[in-house]
Structure formats: C-alpha cells, structure tokens
Chain A
Amino acid sequence: MLLKVENLHAEIDDKEIIKGLNLEIKPGEIHAIMGPNGAGKSTLANVLVGRDEYEVTDGSIEFDGEDLDELDPEERAHKGMFLAFQYPVEIPGVSNKFFMQTAVNAVRNERGQPELDMFEFDEFAKEKIELLDMRSDLLDRSVNVGFSGGEKKRNDIFQMALLEPKLCIMDETDSGLDIDALKLVANGVNSLRSPDRSFIVVTHYQRLLDYIKPDYVHVLYDGKIVKSGGFELGQQLEEQGYDEIIRHYHNG
C-alpha cells in the first residue's frame, strides 16, 4: 500500500472540513476524487502534503509505510509526494531552472543520491522537456511569472516529471483550462504514468477523466467519501450530477 488514510479528521481555522475519511491507494493506481464545491477536495489535497494551516485532529495518514503526522511539507516532498497546484504560485526573479535544480537536489540529497551540477541538470531537464513536448525556453523564465494559465499548469507537470514522485496529487489542475490546454496537461500526466507512480486526481468535471482514465472514482461530500466506484462512476456523475448521491447520503 502506498497511501493509507484512516478515519482522517482535519480542520482549518477551527472549522472541521474533513470528517472521517478513508482512502487506500496502491502503487500505480489512479484515483479520481470528485465532488461538489465545498466538499473538502482541496482541503484533502493540502492536508495530505502537510500544509501548515490545516490541522489533523484525528485519524492517520500513512505513506509508504510511514506515519506522516510529524513531517513538514518538504519532508513529505522528499519522500515522494507531489502536489500540482490549483493556482501555481509566481516567484519573480527566480528562474525556473534554479528553482527546480534546488528542488531536485534537495530531494536527491534526501534519497542519498549525488547532487546534479548545472550541466547534469540541463541534460536531465532537456529529457523531460522533450518527453512532455514543452518549449525549451521554459527553464530560463522566472517561476510562473508571465505564464498563461495553461503554461502554469504545464510547468507544474514539468516539475512533477523532474521530481519523479511516487504519489502525484493534482488539485483541480483542469480548472480554468481550455480544451487544448487540458489535453496537453493530460498527455503530460499520461506520459508520466508508471507501475510505481500513483495519482490522485481531484476534479470537478468528468472532462479531465476522459483523458486520464482513472482506476477508481470517489465522491467526496461533507468531508467523507460517500461513494466509490470505477471509471464508469465518473460518467454517471457527468450525466446525473451529485444530487442523487447526496440525497442518498442524507437519507441513509
């Protein structure tokens, strides 16, 4: 088991958002998490990677056999957790290259691998740029500054490729993307699929799932997973919306 979430309760600003959530993910699996606004999707993504403002009040998160409770966000990153942001952040004056070289070496250090020097990193980055079919000037630009919405999301996928994580959490990566950008992001993700790499795809819409075929679809509502199923559950939701499931949840 790569990720094991048990009876997770979490709050932000003293307000409980996640209320007893269970989730298990094996290596290589793709899980989609869907749900209406305010269900706790983004909170779940942030809690998993250890963002400060979110407090786990009960339950546990086990990653690769280790309890994450006491770990800082960077330590979780070193262990192989990656979050693709809903809104990737701009860092003026810091080149993507310097940023990612620092990140890659921090992770390599942790794994006991030697650091990559500038030339080695260039080679490594070039490979990934080709793999993802991205523009080669990507590295020279400041982190996300002046990037279009689609470019920012693709830059996150590029970072994912460089860091080679075990678990990629995509927090509504599809929001704000037009269909072409969506395809590009999905293709990027698909090229990074491997038997050792799992994905959690948090999304509002079925659309992204047409391109990234998940193994499982979960419906998150009121801080809990209220229904799980296969790929077909996503399609059903697209047609019928969440109402039926929500009604069922409240009734029973």
Chain B
Amino acid sequence: MVEAAKITDLTHDAPFESQYEEIDELLSKKQFYKEGFITNTNVETFAKGINEDVVRAISEKKNEPQWMLDFRLKALKVWQSMEEPHWAKAEYEPLDYQDYSYYSAPECGSCAGECNTDEAGEPEIDPEVAKAFAELGVPIEGNSEVAVDAIFDSISVSTTKREELAKLGIIFCSFSEAVQDYPDLVQKYIATVVPVGDNYFAALNSAVASDGTFVYVPEGVHCPIELSTYFRINEAKTGQFERTILIAEKGSYVSYLEGCSAPVRDTYQLHAAVVEVIVHEDAEVKYSTVQNWYPGDEDCHGGILNFVTKRGICEGDNSKLSWTQAETGSAITWKYPSCILKGDNSIGEFYSVALTNRHQQADTGTKMIHIGKNTKSTIISKGLSAGFSDNTYRGLVKILPSAEGARNFTQCDSMLIGDKCGAHTFPYIEVGNSSAQMEHEATTSRIGEDQLFYCQQRGISEQDAISMIVNGFCKDVFSELPLEFAQEAEELLAISLEGSVG
C-alpha cells in the first residue's frame, strides 16, 4: 500500500532577484581547490577500455584466487547486459566506458597483495605518494589517534595501527589483502548486501573492483579508535572502484570514517564504489563520510562523477547502523546510503548534509527498509544549493508487512543560497503494516537578506554571516560526525561557499 509520495519542487524560482546579486557575486569569486594538485610518480596504468581481458589482467595484477576472478567475470557479464541509468535528477551525457582506464597504481606499491605477505611488514611507500598524503593531512605514518587506510588510485598504499587492532582481533586491511588473507570472510559476505546485479554501477564495480577497505570486528569488541579510509584519485581518465566491506559481529562497536579528494582535471573522472556493511545482533556501526571530490571547473567539467552504492544490513536483533555524510564535492553525486532493518528492534539512521555550488548536481538520500518488528529509522537531510546547482533529496521508507510497530522520522530541510539554484525533494513512503508510525517534516528556506543584515549590523562580514547561518542550518547533522570530522566538514562548507570548491 502506498500511503503518500509527496513531491516538492522549487526549481529556479526567482522572486528576489536583486537581493541575491551580491550573494551570487560572493559565490562566484575566484575558486581554489586546495586538494587539486597532481602527484607525479611512476605509475602503471592499464590502457583504456574494459573487456574480459582487462578484468583478467586486474585480477592477475592483484594475484587473486580463482573464486575472485570468477566473481569478476560473472559481474562483467551482468554489467554488459545492463543499461546506464539516467533517472536521477542530474543531466550528463552517457559515458564512454571504453575511454577510461580501469587500473592505475604507483609502481612500487603495485604488488599490493604480494608484498604484504612479506615478513618485513609494510611495503615501501612511494615518496611522492607519501608526500601527497602528507599534504592532504592524512596521517599515514600511524602517528595519529585514528587508524588509516590510504588508497591511491587503484590500490591501498598504507594501513596504519593494524598490529594494535590485531591484538583485539580486529581486522583492518585493504580489500586486496583481505581477498588473500581472509578469503572465507570475503566470500561469505561479498555481494550479500549489494548483489552484483543490484544496479549498473554496482555491477561495474564488481567486475573491476580496485581496492577498498576491509573491516572485521569480532564478537563483543568495542573498537577503541576511529578507523578511516582516505581515497585519492590521481591519474587522469581513471576510474576508482573501491569495494569496502565492514562486518560487526555480535555485540561489537566500530566507528568508521572516509574522506576523499582528487586533482584538478579537465575531463570527468569516474568513481563507482560499493560499500557493504553487515551488523549482527546487538552491534553498532557508525559510518561517516566527508566527500570532497573535485567538482570540476566553473561549469563542472572535469569533476568527479560519484556514483556510489552504500548499503548496510542490520542482520541481528537490536543492531544499529548510522550513516552520516557531508557531501560537498563531485560534479554529479548519485548516492543513497541505505539500511535494511532485518533484526527486530534494529535502528537505522541517516544524517546528511549535501552542498552544491556552481553547476554541481547532487541526487542523494537514503532507503530505510523495515523488515523486523519494532524497527526504527531516522532521516535528517540538509540540502544546500548555491550558484547554478541542483540539489535533490530522494528517499524511500518502506515498511514491510512483517515490520510490526515500525517507526520512521524524516526531516528534510533545503536551503537556497542565491536565486539560480534548485532544491528538490522526492520522498517515497510505502507502508505495508498499519501499526507503523511515520513522521515527515520538510522545509525550504533561503538565506534571508534580513538575517544577513542582522549579522552585518553586528559587525560580522557578509561572508562570515553566510557561513555562520549555513553551519547553523547543518548543526543537527554535524553533531553526529566524529569531532575531528565535524571540524573538517564545517571548514569545507565555508571553503565551498567562498566560491572555492568543496
């Protein structure tokens, strides 16, 4: 039974033209993406194109067992039978998938799987790559309170704190290593939450999966530090297809963060990741993302196409999965971190801030699928549109007949900055059990001229006022981010609003 599907659409509605001229001017000031540098190092990059040989070559490069190759080849077939989806509220030309390279790695790390089996431990990191991560502020030396997996183009170059974590039985390694070292676990869970044929980009990812992070937290273990992955796309015309699997056994807890950036390029770069999260009984996973992919030039040419499938299952009773994301980059974002609430009393949460500026297009939201009894989900989405951008929230809350006593609370707020941007909300609600309680709140506002003037009259510059009002708007979501990330997200937002990119 479809109970309601409210649609609000505030497209390019421009009643206050004059009062936004100045804001538009502020937003279009010189742009600077400080993560936009290029690293020059010896790389091994496959020739452009995708076919069975390429998939075999990737698998061979990573020294993979037969089952992984079979998985890839099967996925390639599925992908070839599918069509590129264009239902999102974002416009782009169909991509030429033969014009991308599907594998690129700094040379001295290119043996990924192999050198890690070496007793000497960590493989040498290319100094240029190390420099790049240092410049990005990613602590790959392990001198931080956070454990880091650093991924450069197709491969993981460093994973810190692993011994410390290993003492607790926590596995934190690159996906490639997991295929080598923990094949049973990988085989048990891969594609169980996001099936190969789930969607076009998930199928593509399954075929050419580059690297990603693998996390396993054993029963009853409360992971004492934050685990994080930093993704960096460096090579031009290269796709990054990371595969991340995170498993939280019964009664465990883990907080995982990911960050991303890419150099300034003049052609679209493709990022099609798949993340699968499995949360067992009484376990809790907090998954946070600060996404700062290069959004392209003034017209968003050359930015990252961020087509990502993230999904988690609350498999056991009383389990909890919480997604928090701050999305500021990419030319186009297509991303719906979702929760399948299978266990009774399980909880799914989605907290999102999505900022679009210039010609960026974001179509993002979540899916909450309620299967178990007394399952609860919360969705808080804050969309900010500036410049000529389009920002869409698309979300599904589905209550299956079995989900007795399910509850959902959804709050969707949009803020328009300027008068040439669009904010769109597409909430889908399907209720199959009459005991369900659903709440949906939605607001759309503009940064008011009166708010700006109030701040200015108190001596605060217009630029600081905008950033203050915007951060206030996003506060409910930022308070869900781990502390150091919240800070970063706030700064990113400020930079993005300076007309610099995010």
Contact = CB atoms under 8 A, between A and B. Distances in A.
Interface of A: 49, 51-53, 72-74, 77-78, 82-83, 85, 88-94, 98-100, 102-104, 106-107, 110, 142, 159, 163
Contacts of A89: 448, 450-451, 453-454
A99 B455 CA distance: 8
Interface in B362-416: none
B445 to A, nearest CB: 9
Contacts of B455: 91, 99, 103
A74 B455 CA distance: 8
B460 A93 contact: no
Interface string B457-498: 111111010001101111110000000000000000000000
A83 B469 contact: no
B474 A77 contact: no
Q: Most A CB atoms within 10 A — which of B449, B455, B461, B468?
A: B455
Given A51-B453, A52-B453, A73-B453, A91 B460 contact: no
B462 A74 contact: yes
11 contacts: A77-B457, A77-B458, A89-B448, A89-B451, A91-B455, A94-B469, A103-B459, A110-B459, A159-B458, A163-B458, A163-B459
- Interface size on B, as a range, is 20 to 34
B456 A88 contact: no
Contacts of A91: 451, 454-455, 468-469, 472
Contact of B461 (A104, A106, A159): A106
Given A77-B459, A93-B473, A103-B460, 15 more contacts: A73-B457, A78-B459, A82-B457, A85-B454, A91-B451, A93-B475, A94-B471, A98-B468, A100-B458, A103-B459, A106-B461, A106-B464, A110-B459, A163-B458, A163-B459
Q: Most B CB atoms within 10 A — which of A51, A73, A77, A98?
A: A73
B19 interface: yes
Contacts of A93: 471-476
A82 B464 CA distance: 19
Nearest to A104: B459
Nearest to B470: A93
Contacts of A107: 459
A159 B475 CA distance: 23
A92 B457 CA distance: 18
Contact of A106 (B22, B449, B459, B474): B459
Nearest to B22: A52
Given A53-B19, A89-B448, A74 B472 contact: no
Nearest to A87: B450
A91 B462 CA distance: 14
A92 B473 CA distance: 6
A11 B119 CA distance: 80
A88 B468 CA distance: 17
Nearest to A98: B468
Contact of B468 (A53, A83, A102, A163): A102
A101 to B, nearest CB: 11
Q: Ordered nearest first, which 4 A-B pairs have the shortest CB separation?
A: A93-B472, A94-B472, A77-B459, A93-B475
B456 to A, nearest CB: 4
A15 B19 CA distance: 17
A15 to B, nearest CB: 15
Nearest to B475: A93
A201 B457 CA distance: 17
